[in-house]
């Protein structure tokens, strides 16, 4: 069922700051929907509006056909998993999980049965009598999820639920979360600044920036066909080009003039005409790097450049290649790697090639978004807010 949870023109201001600026979108029943963006983009504010901790200045929030805007938190069939868990330290694990049902005045038998079922779901039956201070971070996270899920909410809100965990645990919890979602089938709205988490768990992602949604789509759509320079640069890494259309070829392709490059072929899904200016995004792994000039193929772009930096990263190598004014990031996967072959090193002249279909034309471009691009030594790092 689509339009299960609908945001209609929701805005929230703090003083002069527009935390959320007239945002509209809808979440389907049963899906995992992520709000992804840098800190301060308004994703948490949206979540808090949905939970009832903040009142939007304008707009409506509709859950399952019912307008819930303005309802206090305890009257919404929505539960939250907080970033710092927010477990009650004066209660045991069992009492924490039983808190919601007790508020809802379930019978004692029903509470006991459901709490035990939840403890089983999160595999923590043996810890039921412990205090919150006596369990680990990952366990706290699972208790927080159980405490929310036991109330059978229509939507589960997760506010950076894994931010406080280390990388390995984060990856494991992501798998666990996915399994729990499959088990309970409740709609999840997941807030994160970590693109890896969002990609891994979401059915759909809304990429947010400065209080607005830049793009909504499946992880693959967001990654492979970003609409704006923000989405292209924030999610994953990319290279930006600016050029001009010099010719339109049989409908779906066009020829571009990019400063310092020979003619470039690009997939023209935006229906551009000759003379139009265009900004192009090309992911680093779309390049192929080689010493020999690759064989000509009809939709293959080829350019020559000089290697400026080489960073060996195990699963792949990152090259920085200079082509005229462009310093291009190139990732080469090590599908086949022999220690006795001579690797490409700094200062070598190389050929770069890529398929015309792999570049993506941007609808919106801002030069400042280039600051979001991954620096070579910061890869794989994500800084919690």
Partner 1 sequence: MKRSRIPFFTTLAVLVFFYLPLVILSVNSFNDSRYGGPWNGFTVRWYVRLFQDRQIWHALQNTLIIASTATLVSMVVGTMAAFALNRYRTRLQMVHYGMIYSPLIVPDILMGMSLLLFFVALNVKLGLVTIFLAHVTFCISYVAMVVLSRLQDFDFSLMEAAQDLGAGHWTAFRRVMLPLIMPGIAAGGLLAFTLSLDDFVITFFVSGPGSTTLPIHIYSMMKHGAPAVINALSVILLLVTFVLVSASRTMREKIQ
Provide the binding-site residues for partner 1, judged by CB under 8 A. 51-53, 72-74, 78-80, 82, 84, 86-90, 99-100, 103-104, 147-148, 151
Round to whole Å and give the CA distance between 231 and 225.
9
| Minimum gap (Å) between residue 196 Cβ and partner 1 | 25
Whichever of 75 and 363 has its CB closer to partner 1, that residue is 75
Q: Radius of gyration over alpha carbons of the chain, in Å?
A: 25
CB of 97 to partner 1, least distance (A): 10
Minimum Å gap between C-beta 80 and partner 1 is: 5
**CA–CA separation, 80 vs 279, rounded Å?**
40
> Shortest Cβ distance from residue 190 to partner 1 (Å)?
16
Q: How far is CA 156 from CA 76, 81, 93, 298, in A?
A: 11, 8, 20, 49
Q: Are 138 and 172 in contact (CB under 8 A)?
A: yes
Token pair for 316: 């792949």
At 167, list the tokens.
């990388």
Helix axes 167-184, 108-121, angle to 10 degrees: 130
Closest CB to partner 1 among residues 147, 283: 147
Phi (first) and psi of residue 83, to 5 degrees: -60, -45
Shortest Å distance, C-beta 139 to partner 1? 17
Query: Smallest distance from the beta carbon of 104 to partner 1, in angstroms?
Result: 5
Strand partners, 312: 317
């Amino acid at each position: 069922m689509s339009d299960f949870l609908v945001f209609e023109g929701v805005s929230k201001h703090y003083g002069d700051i527009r935390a959320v600026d007239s945002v509209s979108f809808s979440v389907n029943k049963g899906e995992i929907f992520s709000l992804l963006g840098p800190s301060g983009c308004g994703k948490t504010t949206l979540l808090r509006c949905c939970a009832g901790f903040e009142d939007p200045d304008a707009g409506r929030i509709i859950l399952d056909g019912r307008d819930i805007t303005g309802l206090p938190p305890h009257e919404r069939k929505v539960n939250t998993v907080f970033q710092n868990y927010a477990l009650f330290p004066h209660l045991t694990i069992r009492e924490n999980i039983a808190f919601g049902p007790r508020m809802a005045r379930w019978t004692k038998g029903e509470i006991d049965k459901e709490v035990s079922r939840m403890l089983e779901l999160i595999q923590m039956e043996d810890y039921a009598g412990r205090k919150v201070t006596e369990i680990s971070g990952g366990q706290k996270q699972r208790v927080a999820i159980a405490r929310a899920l036991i109330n059978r909410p229509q939507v589960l809100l997760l506010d950076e639920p894994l931010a406080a965990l280390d990388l390995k645990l984060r990856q494991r919890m992501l798998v666990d979360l996915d399994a729990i979602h499959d088990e309970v089938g409740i709609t999840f709205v997941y807030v994160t600044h970590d693109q890896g988490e969002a990609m891994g768990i979401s059915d759909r992602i809304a990429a947010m920036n400065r209080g607005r949604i830049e793009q909504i789509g499946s992880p693959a759509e967001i990654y492979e066909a970003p609409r704006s320079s923000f989405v292209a640069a924030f999610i994953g890494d990319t290279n930006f080009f600016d050029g001009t259309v010099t010719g339109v070829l049989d409908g779906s392709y066009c020829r571009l003039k990019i400063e310092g490059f020979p003619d470039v072929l690009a997939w023209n899904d935006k229906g551009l005409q000759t003379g139009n200016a265009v900004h192009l995004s090309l992911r680093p792994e779309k390049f192929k790097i080689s010493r020999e000039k690759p064989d000509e193929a009809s939709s293959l772009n080829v350019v020559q450049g000089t290697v400026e930096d080489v960073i060996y990263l195990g699963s792949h190598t990152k090259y920085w290649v200079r082509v005229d004014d462009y310093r291009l990031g190139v990732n080469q996967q090590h599908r086949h790697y022999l220690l006795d072959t001579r690797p490409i090193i700094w200062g070598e002249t190389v050929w770069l090639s890529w398929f015309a279909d792999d570049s993506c034309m941007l609808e919106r471009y801002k030069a400042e978004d280039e600051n979001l691009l991954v620096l070579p030594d910061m890869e794989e790092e994500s800084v919690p807010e």
